[in-house]
Structure 1
Amino acid sequence: MKPTLRAALTSPFVVFTVFMLGKIYLSWFVIFESAFSWLPLLTGLPTVWAAFAPIELFARKRKLMLYMIVNVVFTSVYFAAIMYYKYFGVIVTYHALQQVGQVTEVKGSVFSLLHPYFLFIYTDIVLFGLLLTFRRTFRSWAVRGMTLNRAAAGLIFPLALMVSIFCMWTNRDSINEIKQAQHMGILNYELYAIFAKRSEPLLDESEITAEAIMKAKGLAANPSPNYWRAAEGKNIVVLQLEAFQNFLLGLSVDGQEITPNMNSLMKQNFYFPHIFQMVSQGNTSDAEYMLNTSFYVPPYGAAAQDYGDRALPSLPKEFRGIGYEALTFHTNDVVFWNREELYKALGFTRYYDKSFYGDADTVAFGASDEVLYDKTVTEMARLQGEGKRFYANIISMSGHHPFNLPDRKKKIELPDRFDDTLVGDYLTAQQYADYAIGQFIDKLKETGLWDQTVLFIYGDHMGLPIYSLSSKEHALMKDMLGRDYSYPDMLNIPLIIAGGGVTSPQVFPQIGGHVDFMPTIANLAGISLADHLHFGQDLLNTQHNLLPERYYLPSGSLINDTTIYVPGRGYADGVTYALPTGDGAMPSEDEYKRALELLHMSDSYVNQLPKHD
């Protein structure tokens, strides 16, 4: 090989370009799960060159250091994109920096997703670091090595910049964030998210009415609802189950029932098998927010962080208005997910957190579900003994990802095929969660609370992301479910209403989501929401629904009576997933637009609320 060619091929510009190409394609294969394509080359390489060319043009000293800085920054962006996608199924943006304070709490979940081969993305950085440390001559490589001709660098920079801008410009109208990142390139998408934040002007409050919401949903008001005041005067207890999916109910593995207590509740009470999660980055706290407001989650970030400073119209305030105590119970520290502010915004009378439950019998982030239920029921019994009625939210936590349940809590031994799998860990953790629910029900009955209480039980969000599962784990799921595990299963959470007011077992087949819980509870309790703007439907009195989705499904996604719809780069190239209640037919474009309209109304309304004291 001629010396000039060898020098060119070993120049920093070429060497760092080659390493960056490897990272571009690694992220492409992991995130987009596509076969080889020239698209990453066309969308990723110009952005890299637009950063490298100025180094060749202007840097005379410390050139290697500048290449290393750019390399570390770009590598970290790709690594963050891979890791975030494996947990959330979305492309990370700068908005995720809002969650940095939560990382220490969920580090177990983060590390569980860290496949060893992902770390190869940092191989070159480690190698360069070692060479710089132990070989002094390497430090002058960038100076001694062949540099890019200044004229060539001067040409490459504007051309690469123009191509990058072209990639962003031609894909700016794509509503699906994943498709947008795929066709822009991840680095371009990150820049686009910073400098071209999509925002619509807020609607005037006069345009956001109950009638407008019902029209967008394609529904009509029901003047004589069933079960009105069926739970009037009773305590209302809402149990939110961590990462609890609907497929668990009725599931057995080699003859072992996974959720015998939930199965019993399902068979003896009101059961809604077609409820779907609607949470965003806040996960559990987002579910709490929607339960108590019937508003949609914000377009970016967690509701507790984005809306925690607002004076939110809420279910706790409605219950306090009729003389109830409004309480919430959670074994973690209240500062996690900004809950202290969220609970003020929602108007709870009192919250109970780690300071109440202590550190005894710790599982996941706090005291076990058994401790949670034991101390909570004792406190509720005390309040009832004082003649107080209450609306209570109880947040379970022992079934949290990555489902590392201590051996002392395991109540089931799964077959060997589940060893060292996320699916096996999930089933074991949720079987314990179900065991603790049995203890909870028993204590409610022992204390006399059961007959005076309506119990509303639901899952907060999915526990097994389809994009986190290995091929072996997907095979396990298919073997258990008798079908491929996909969005209709992943997003499906259970809802059971038990106790007073439930006169006979019944299965309600209608579609619903988190925003529908508040009006359903209000109907049972006899609380009129005629003057209270809300976006959900009373699930006891509706046969049709339209659920706009965001975050875990790309913007523009929706769930209707028959279908989960996910847009492509626009409406027409979207894909559908059939629900058990339908055939997966493509929704009309009008329905697609109405779902977006609902989100816009909710965003506009909440952002114009005054701040709480």
Structure 2
Amino acid sequence: MKKNAYNHFVFFVIAVLLFWFKTYIAYHLDFRLGTDNNLQRFLLFINPLSSALFFLGFALLSKKYFKRVLIGIHFILSFLLYANIVYYRFFNDFITVPDLLQAKSNAGGLGDSVVGLMAFSDIFYFTDTIILIVLACTLFKQATVKTWKLYKFVFLISIIIFLMNLSLAEKDRPNLLSLNFDRSYIVKYLGVYNFTIFDIIQSIQSSSERAFASSNNLTKVENYRKATYTTPDPVLFGKAKGMNVIFVSMESFQNFMIDLKMPNGELVTPFLDSLAHDGDTFYFDHFYHQTGQGKTSDAEFLMENSLYPLNQGSVFISKAQNTYQATPGILKGYGYNSAVFHGNYKTFWNRNVMYKSLGYDQFFDASYYNLTPPNIKNFGMKDKPFFAESMPMLENLKQPFYTKFITLSNHFPFEIDQGDTNFPKGNTGDWAVDQYMQSAHYMDEALQQFFDSLKKDGLYDKSVIILYGDHYGLSSNNYPAMAKMLGVKQITPVMDSNLQQVPLFIHVPGVKGGVEHQVGGEVDVRPTLLHLLGIDTKDYIEFGSDLLSPQHRNWVAFRNGDYVSTDLIMSSGKCYSVTTRNLATDQKACNNLSNKVKNDLQMSDTVVNQDLLRFYHPNGFKPINPSDYQYLGPTKKKGA
């Protein structure tokens, strides 16, 4: 017994079992992967074992430092697991290689959000590492590896288990790895560690796609584009010709907030509510965000390119050097000057690089604003001082202009400083939900202030104003409290899809608006705007459909392959009827729409990953040269 107690094999088995147990617990406590049958439940149980054996097995190659190497690998894997847990708590997704590149770019502004997602009980995920350290210093102090033969056996067993795992996964979910629209499926079937390996391989493949692409790859995309082009409404086409354009990105603002009342009857966002019902503004109440891991940057990309974001990472980070034919570049041919106003530093989301590729003339970032303590929160400038300090810069722009304002205050964790608003917090018991209502009200007050300023200096009557929610603010972690707030028992899959709705407002001076009920998404905004400006989009490669066109399509695609249409909703791979809110009976209709969505996403991915727009030359469009633009700050000559 004493001899076995010091055996390195026993120590190795303990490490594997502890790690296996911990990962399985994390699957149930922190990842909502959803198992529908016994096979899925078995795969969820078994998939951490092959990874534990494979990675921890490398320690068996180190005879002298076996325990140190084993504990080191164990800690690295534990850290990867915990990083995914924290990331998942807000994004409902898993970390990818492009995310790590984004973290390098965005690290300066993420501190409060990350800390807000951590809990003291999270120390559980490192307890097993601590146990191993104690065992290594006591009971297994003398354990060393005598031969490498054990590694061969462990490696073989791990491969056999993985192949069995993969075979059963393919049986339950055919083409799991080839149709990888949703990362949660891969994690559920193969495990979080095998997903990381798969993601690394995918990233390498993606970076090689561009190198081997040619103009011949465009033919299929062009034919698809011609077949899906939506003609503009002949009555509305050109109604905003020559007008200024002002976009406002409303941070993390979801559509359920419109007309929402506090228990005392007070409206949360009275100004936005008034826009929704004034009759002079188009308000789209079935409009959805379509962002992926890039969140706000994905929304910008969708809006200005009518292309879908990437399945992993952010286009702004990994594809910033691509050729684009974005709205700012198109409008240059019509005499427009373009600018972005943002109360954070220009390197966040790699905007200082990406905006040059999009053709923005000027970028008013944090260096133009008074970032003193009373004015800053979360990622930068608070919304009220942001709009106030932006007005003089906006007024000095040459008209007509195309501009974008990116708000920040309504960002997780939604904290508002005392004195910034008198509006009370919610009372659901969930601190994020309760603060979200107060934070959204503050943004609403800031937007009213901005509109008042536009009216005062005469820009309101000369400008198309577009306000949009960029992505969700509250995740499924907050659904119990949201159910209480919305007066329902629980958030169903159909409700979950509806909670992806974000508001879209389009105000065109002199044009009658109203509430629009058609289904649409962020990819549809560019053709809608350009047609209002009198610019036909038929010569451009885009995947949106004019929201105001009688031919507007009746479905919207999500980045993970799910969708919403006027009749059907696909949520987490299951198809529901919009009418009954139960599982749909017409599976043929569900599959036909799924194929349309996947085709749309794949076509867009081909354009972006292969940088195909460098081979495409629309009539009248002058290619953008990023080196023509320099964003040097307020004390130096601003480039354009």
Question: What is the TM-score of this pair, normalised by structure 1?
Answer: 0.87
Distance 1:151 1:335 in 2: 51
- Residue 559 of structure 1 is matched in structure 2 by 564
* Residue 341 (structure 1) aligned with residue 345 (structure 2): no
* Alignment partner of 1:382 is 2:376: no
1:412 maps onto 2:395 in alignment: no
Report the Cα distance in structure 2 between the residues aligned to 1:597 and 1:475, rounded to whole angstroms.
35
Matched, 1:212 2:217: no
The aligned counterpart of 1:524 is 532
CA distance in 2, matches of 1:484, 1:270: 29
TM-superposed CA distance for 1:463, in Å, is 0.1
Give the residue type in structure 2 aligned to 1:460. Answer: D
Separation in structure 1 between the aligned mates of residue 296 and residue 498 of structure 2, nearest angstrom: 19
Distance in 2, matches of 1:582 and 1:126, equals 48
- The secondary structure found in structure 1 opposite 2:292 is coil
Q: How does 1:171-186 map to 2 (within 5 A)?
A: 171=169, 173-174=175-176, 175=179, 176-186=182-192
How far apart, CA to CA, are the structure 2 residues paired with 1:9 and 1:20? Answer: 17
Could you tell me which residue of structure 2 aligns to residue 263 of structure 1? 273
Match of 1:433 in 2: 443
Three-state SS of the structure 2 residue aligned to 1:231 is coil
1:23 aligns with 2:39: no
In 1, are the aligned partners of 2:316 and 2:349 still within 8 Å (CA)? yes
Q: Work out whether 1:595 is the aligned partner of 2:597.
A: yes
Residues 243-254 of structure 1 aligned to structure 2 (within 5 Å): 243-254=252-263
Is the contact between residue 6 and residue 140 of structure 2 (CA under 8 Å) also seen in structure 1?
A: no
Aligned residue number for residue 228 of structure 1: 237
CA contact (8 A) 1:231 1:454 kept: yes
Q: Give the Cα–Cα distance (whole angstroms) in 1 for the partners of residues 202 and 138 of structure 2.
A: 40
Find the residue that maps to 1:279 and give its secondary structure. Answer: coil
What residue is the counterpart of 2:380 in the other structure? 366
Amino acid at match of 1:24: T
CA–CA distance in 2 between the matches of 1:162 and 1:483?
40
Mapped to 1, the partners of 2:496 and 2:286 lie a distance apart of: 13
CA contact (8 A) 1:245 1:492 kept: yes
Give the total of aligned pairs.
584
Q: Does 1:118 align with 2:122?
A: yes
Q: Which amino acid aligns with 2:196?
A: E
Structure 2 counterpart of 1:155, from 153, 177, 197: 153
Match of 2:86 in 1: 83
Give 1:135's aligned residue: none
The 3-state SS of whatever aligns with 1:394 is strand
Once the two structures are superposed, residues 433-459 of structure 1 have per-residue CA deviations (whole angstroms, 9 ceiling, x without a partner) of: 001111111111111111112211110
Report the equivalent of 2:300: 288
**Distance (Å, rounded) in 1 between the aligned partners of 2:339 and 2:415:** 29
What is the correspondence of 1:325-336 to structure 2 with a 5 Å cutoff? 325-336=337-348
Give 1:125's aligned amino acid.
Answer: T
| Matched AA of 1:306 | S
Aligned counterpart, 1:570: none
Distance 1:484 1:588 in 2: 19
Unaligned 5+ segments in structure 1 are: 133-137, 568-573
Q: Is the 8 A contact 1:253 1:480 kept in 2?
A: no
Task: State the superposition RMSD in angstroms.
Answer: 3.0
CA contact (8 A) 1:168 1:192 kept: no
TM-fit CA distance, 1:114: 1.2
Question: Alignment partner of 2:415: what SS?
Answer: coil
Q: For 1:481 and 1:501, how far apart are their aligned partners in 2?
A: 44
1:42 to 37, 46, 58: 46
Distance 2:605 2:381 in 1: 36
The answer to whether the Cα contact below 8 Å between 1:363 and 1:398 also exists between their aligned partners in 2 is yes
From 96, 107, 110, give the equivalent of 1:106.
110
Partner of 2:464, secondary structure, is strand
How many Å separate the matches in 2 of 1:300 and 1:414? 35
Q: Tell me, in whole angstroms, the C-alpha distance in 1 between the residues paired with 2:80 and 2:404.
A: 38
* 8 Å Cα contact 1:561/1:581 also seen in 2: no
**Aligned partner (choices 531, 535, 543) of residue 535 of structure 1:** 543
Q: Is the 8 A contact 1:168 1:188 kept in 2?
A: no
- Deviation (angstroms), 1:500: 0.3
**Mapped contact 1:253–1:414 kept (Cα < 8 A):** no
What is the CA deviation profile of residues 88-133 of structure 1, one whole-angstrom value per residue up to 9, with x for unaligned ones?
112223332112221331121111111332221012334555x49x
Correspondence for 1:70 among 69, 73, 77: 73
1:190 alignment partner in structure 2 = 196
Match of 2:457 in 1: 447
Give the conservation status (yes or no) of the 8 Å contact 1:563–1:584: no
1:563 Cα offset (Å): 3.1
Q: Determine the C-alpha separation between the residues in 1 that align with 2:523 and 2:329.
A: 17
Quote how far apart the aligned CAs of 1:380 are: 2.5
Question: SS where residue 31 of structure 1 aligns?
Answer: coil
Aligned CA distance change for structure 1 residues 482 and 68 (closer, same or farther; 3 Å): closer
Deviations 1:316-357 (A, max 9, x none): 122221112111111111111110111111111211111112
Letter in 2 for 1:259: T
Give SS of 1:408's match.
coil
Shift of 1:396: 0.9
- Change in Cα spacing, 1:152 to 1:298, as seen in structure 2 (3 Å) is closer
CA–CA separation in structure 2 for the residues paired with 1:144 and 1:407: 59
**CA 1:139/1:4 → structure 2, altered by over 3 Å: closer, same or farther?**
closer
**Which residues of structure 2 form unaligned runs of 5+?**
615-624, 628-640
Between 1:332-341 and 1:578-587, the stretch displaced more is 578-587
Distance between the aligned counterparts of 1:28 and 1:223, measured in 2? 48
Query: Cα distance 1:44–1:205, how it changes in 2: closer, same or farther (>3 A)?
Result: same
Alpha-carbon spacing, 1:579–1:104, altered in 2? closer, same or farther (3 Å)? farther
Instruction: State the secondary structure of the residue aligned to 2:524.
Output: helix
Between stretches 65-74 and 535-544, larger displacement belongs to 535-544
Shift of 1:20: 0.5
Distance 1:251 1:49, change over 3 A: same
Percent identical pairs in the alignment equals 25
Partners of 1:13 and 1:148 within 8 A in 2: no
Letter aligned with residue 492 of structure 1: Q
- Equivalents in 2 of 1:512, 1:223: separation in Å? 15
Counterpart residue number, 1:571:
none
**Residues 1:579 and 1:260: Cα distance change in structure 2 (over 3 Å):** farther
- Name 2:607's counterpart in structure 1: 605
Distance in 1 (alpha carbons) for counterparts of 2:232 and 2:253: 34
Rounded to whole Å, the distance in 1 between the matches of 2:537 and 2:157 is 59
In structure 2, the CA distance between the partners of 1:341 and 1:150, relative to structure 1 (3 Å rule), is: closer
Specify the SS of the correspondent of 1:207: helix
* 1:155 partner amino acid: F
Cα separation, 1, equivalents of 2:509 and 2:556: 29
Distance 1:7 1:272, change over 3 A: same
